Chain A
Amino acid sequence: MTKGTFATAWKGMGLWKWPAITMLVIWAGLVPFLGPVPPTWQNHGTQTDDNITLTLETRGRMRAGHSIDLRLTANANADREIFVGFEGEPNEVSALTLNGQELQTRVDLSVPDNGPLTITVRMVTDEGRERVFRWHLGIPQPL
């Protein structure tokens, strides 16, 4: 197949090719918004204990051995040190303090091999009580 073959065909399409090209350009422009792999957050729900409210979202696949991007959003009463990790994985627990302004924080956690996966968020209240929030996330993915 020579370059000339397609150049000839391209020329032969005349003006008719331009509406088609325009439509494909529109399609290509829409792909980032309607494409198959959007960088969206998965909302796993909000949990409330007494007057503390926490919402957990994750982004990306839960592949065993890979890290997962977590986002926690809390109400004002949860502005304190918290510990996030996968249940049964004490080594993976990380400690942080929620940002007092936005009450939102992001954590990278390494996904363990064994499932089902449960994210736990522990916090110690001013009264010294420990509160634990749990979210079930399914099983880790092998790939």
Chain B
Amino acid sequence: MRKKRLWFDVHSWVGLKLSILMSFILITGTLAVFSNELDWAFNSEMRVASQAKGTPIAWGAMYDSAVEAFPDGRLTAIMLGPDPWFAAQGVAQGPDGQLHRLWFNPYTGAYQGATGWLSIQRFLRSTHRHLMMPNAIGIPIVCAFSFLLIASMVTGLVVYKKFWRGFFRKPRFDQPVRTWTGDLHRLGALWSAWFLVLIALSGIWYLAEKSLGGAAPRVEEPPTTIEREGVLPAGFTGADLQKAANMAMEAYPSLDLKVVLLPRRPTANLTFGGQADAILVRPTANTVWVDPATLNVTGIQRGETLTAHQRLSELADPLHFGTWGGIVTKIIWFLFGVLLSGLSVTGIIIYGKRIARGGPGAASANDAAPLTA
């Protein structure tokens, strides 16, 4: 009994003492699942009419539109949106050094307008990832909560007697608030346990990767054959980019092209990335490099040939963000995010109600009993 109380005290300590920051991280993470969609809802530049799968993407026309609309800017990337109803995004650096997002119809290449670099997506990402603090401080703080999530789950399962029987136990809504919030808390915790483990483990990976030097080695880009004066050859046009994209798709037929990275230095290639045969990887895991001067393919990187360490690094984002299965997995991730956030809030209510009822000490003394209910 004393041992069980110790487990409960740990559960209560994690859930209550650190609940403000824990709730904040969980809620912002949940909102971040749909951060791109929120931007899409508020910015009509980001919207296009969906087209059938397989409709050719006008990479070259988008490039020409960007050069025309932003003559002094330097285009660094063109990326397709997460779903067919999203405009394609060009990232350009203005003469003032600021980054801008340019939006194009991916099927026609038409320029739809520009927005600033900062967006709802950036805001939620910076908030959830490092609380807008410098990375070196914010990332370890946020990632440390992954350990607390695990501790919270393990201690919760230990004190919840025969928890496996609780998956279909209906909350007793006809009982006082304290009782039904407790029922809801336990039910939500059981159903979201798999999600908690996934989020916590990927969070621990981010800590190892970003703060403890555990980042996977980067795949080296092959050298280009001709050195240029500028980052792109003189007279490079959208037609050249389209040719290069066609070359890339020919060289890697299963590549579903999602992103084009333009060179940032005179010896760099055009980088074409996308999804192919490897599952649960980011688009840049499958890459074709094309020399912008000769339009020859200089190298191919296939996701399935990456090392285990690199695959682990690729795996973290799709799993943590819930993007691996498109809008369906995003909805699931969002709902379970709501559930996890709800656990944090109901935990606070349970504590408040029990103490209010039983006076100081009631939380530890009385809580084992309801957990077995």
Question: Which A residues have a C-beta under 8 Å from some C-beta of B?
Answer: 1-2, 4-9, 12-14, 16-17, 19-21, 23-24, 26-27, 30-31, 34-38, 40, 42-47, 61-62, 116, 135-139, 141-143
Check B112–A13 contact: CB distance below 8 A.
no
- 12 more contacts with CB within 8 A, not counting A43-B100, A46-B72, are A2-B356, A4-B356, A13-B20, A19-B21, A27-B133, A34-B123, A40-B118, A43-B96, A46-B71, A47-B71, A116-B111, A139-B112
Check A40–B44 contact: CB distance below 8 A.
no
Whole-angstrom distance between the Cβ of A107 and the nearest chain B Cβ:
18
Please pick, from A2, A6, A36, A138, the residue contacting B118 in the complex, using a CB distance under 8 A: A36
Please pick, from A8, A16, A19, A44, the residue contacting B69 in the complex, using a CB distance under 8 A: A44
- Of chain B, the residue at the smallest CB distance from A39 is B116
- Of chain B, the residue at the smallest CB distance from A10 is B352
Check B132–A138 contact: CB distance below 8 A.
no
Is there a chain A Cβ closer than 8 Å to B353's Cβ? Answer: yes
Is there a chain A Cβ closer than 8 Å to B18's Cβ? Answer: yes
* A137 to B112 CA separation, bound complex (whole angstroms): 8
Residue pairs across A and B with CB atoms within 8 Å: the count is 134
Question: Which B residues have a C-beta under 8 Å from some C-beta of A?
Answer: 16-21, 24, 43-45, 68-73, 94-96, 98, 100, 103, 110-114, 116, 118-120, 122-123, 126-127, 131-133, 141, 177, 348-349, 351-353, 355-356, 363
Q: What are 25 pairs between A and B in contact, CB < 8 Å?
A: A2-B356, A7-B352, A12-B16, A12-B17, A12-B363, A13-B16, A16-B17, A23-B21, A23-B141, A24-B20, A26-B131, A26-B133, A36-B119, A36-B123, A37-B118, A43-B72, A43-B98, A43-B100, A44-B70, A45-B95, A136-B69, A138-B103, A138-B112, A141-B44, A142-B44
Check A5–B356 contact: CB distance below 8 A.
yes
Whole-angstrom distance between the Cβ of B335 and the nearest chain A Cβ:
23
